[in-house]
Structure 1
Amino acid sequence: MSKHRIFTMSFANLYPMYLNKAERKNRSKAEVNEIIYWLTGYDEAGLQQQLAQKNDVETFFAQAPKLHANTSLIKGVVCGVRVEDVEDPLMQKIRYLDKLVDELAKGKAMEKILRQ
């Protein structure tokens, strides 16, 4: 079976889509980055390196320093799919990031988005 198309997409191509979604709702690039740092363990330098290398989404998550311990608290529906029920581990990580950016765009407070 072939890989899902998003797995092979460059994270550098996906990242501006997250930014656009947030910025259309008057949220900032810094907030999107904070979500990515929280979820993946990347810091600014690590994220910029991933973007510069144009690594695919699969590599982006495979090289992530450490997925946050509270990811199990991310619940809800993204694109009609309940994130906690996604069976493929990589797709679930992608859906987690989608869900967090969706919550940001919907105006949720960062403390709630970051499950603090």
Structure 2
Amino acid sequence: MKTTPEHDQKIAKMTFASVYPHYIAKVERKGRSQAELDQVIEWLTGFGEKEKQALIEKKATFEVFFERAQLNPNAHLIKGVICGYRVEELETPLTQKVRYLDMLVDELAKGKKMEKILREE
């Protein structure tokens, strides 16, 4: 699935620090915790609390965020539609990784079991 170069550039330049509070608010509004959100982020990226916090403080863009991430080998199992895009069909790797994260946050907010979110089943 193609995205426009402008769309991809916009995502690349967005900072993780600007989006993370929205992720927290979204999952907490649905009765999930920040700790669960952080677990999901760590599963996808390999970032523990210290690394994640350092990236927030440095106002790292998503481009830098995912350059430094060790993407989970099971990330390719993340499938579905988010923001009008089927994540498994996105052609731009960075956009796909950001949408993987969006998809996991959505699944958490929708009350999916953690085992399913972390692709353990």
Q: Structure 2 length normalisation: TM-score?
A: 0.91
Mapped partners of 1:49, 1:79: distance in 2: 28
Cα displacement (A) at 1:32: 0.7
- Give the Å deviation of 1:10: 1.4
**What pairs up with 1:1-12 in 2 under 5 angstroms?**
4-12=9-17
Name stretches of at least 5 consecutive residues in structure 2 with no aligned partner.
none
Identity %: 55
Q: 2:47 matched to which residue of 1?
A: 42
Aligned partner of 2:119 in structure 1 is: 115
Q: Partners in 2 of 1:27 and 1:92 — Cα distance?
A: 24
Alignment of 1:1-116 (within 5 A): 4-64=9-69, 66-116=70-120
Q: TM-score, normalised by structure 1?
A: 0.95
Unpaired stretches in structure 1, ≥5 consecutive residues? none
CA distance in 1, matches of 2:119, 2:20: 22
- 1: distance between equivalents of 2:108 and 2:50? 23
Superposition RMSD in Å = 1.1
Where 2:37 maps in the other structure, the secondary structure is helix
Q: How far does the alpha carbon of each residue in 1:14-64 deviate from its partner, in whole angstroms, 9 at most, with x for none? A: 111111110110111001100110000111111011111111111011111
Deviating more after overlay: 85-94 vs 17-26: 17-26
